[in-house]
A = this chain, B = another copy of it.
Amino acid sequence: MSARILLVEDNADLAEGVEYNLRLEGYDVKVADNGKIAVEIALSWQPDLILLDLMLPEMDGYQVLRRVRQFAANVPVIILSARGEEADKVRGFKLDADQYVTKPFSIVELLERIAALLRRNARALPDAPASRVSFGEVDIDTASRTVLRNGKPCTLTPKAYELLLALVRRDGAVAGRTELLKEVWGYGAFIMTRTVDTHIAELRRKLESNPAEPRHIVTVWKVGYRLSKA
């Protein structure tokens, strides 16, 4: 049985995008577009993790959090907020949110945080997300955020690491530059000149035995990149 995630978000576009990606990861997802329903679902469905927007109709995010905490004090909660006000942050954390992510956020980063929180509760959860992936001579351990090549540690820059995860997530399917930008840089990012390519180059330099003839990080002409595990 997969982990249950409740997404509380009234912006339909954003909700859809996040929901899609969560399902892609294999999570069981429900979406609530207002606070009242959110509380109901939280209590009846008992999700393993909650993603909570603070700006909501009906009942604002703080109240939702408070209500939920009364009945399920241990569910990890990640707050999604567009506001950057310090006051909000403090207040949210006082009510014991576990993480605080500001919009626009990177999908990959969000997924990482989700996985981390679920893993932490792993003992209570039957199917914690896997923490190790490998292809070719490369091993990735997402828990320690470590990449090994031929067993030797290999330091990637943060962006390159996230980009790698984004490719891994695709499981061999091609990813367009724009998609990658959205997933790694955040959905608010503009298209920037050659940024993705540069980081792809770093990955090849550090992970491929012959960067000039990449075997794993493959270019798909006019489309984007894909990861070939072979």
Contacts and interface: CB of A to CB of B under 8 A. Distances in A.
Contact of A94 (B116, B126, B145, B188): B188
B173 A119 contact: yes
A129 to B, nearest CB: 12
A206 to B, nearest CB: 15
A143 interface: yes
Contact of A221 (B100, B117, B122, B157): B157
Given A96-B188, A119-B74, A145 B69 contact: no
B120 A74 contact: yes
A144 interface: yes
A123 B74 contact: yes
A193 interface: no
Interface string A96-133: 10111000000000001100110111111010000000
A190 B100 contact: yes
Q: Which size class do A's interface residues fall under? A: 35 or more
Q: Report how many copies the assembly holds.
A: 2
B223 A143 contact: no
Contacts of A71: 116
A172 interface: yes
Interface in A171-229: 172-174, 178, 182, 188-190, 220-223, 226, 228
Contact of A222 (B119, B158, B182): B158
A87 B99 CA distance: 19
A121 B119 CA distance: 13
7 contacts: A73-B116, A96-B188, A99-B178, A143-B173, A144-B172, A145-B226, A158-B223
Closest 9 CB pairs between A and B?
A73-B120, A73-B116, A74-B120, A143-B173, A89-B190, A93-B188, A90-B189, A158-B222, A74-B123
Given A93-B94, A121-B123, A158-B221, 8 more contacts: A70-B113, A73-B117, A93-B189, A94-B188, A123-B126, A143-B173, A143-B174, A144-B226
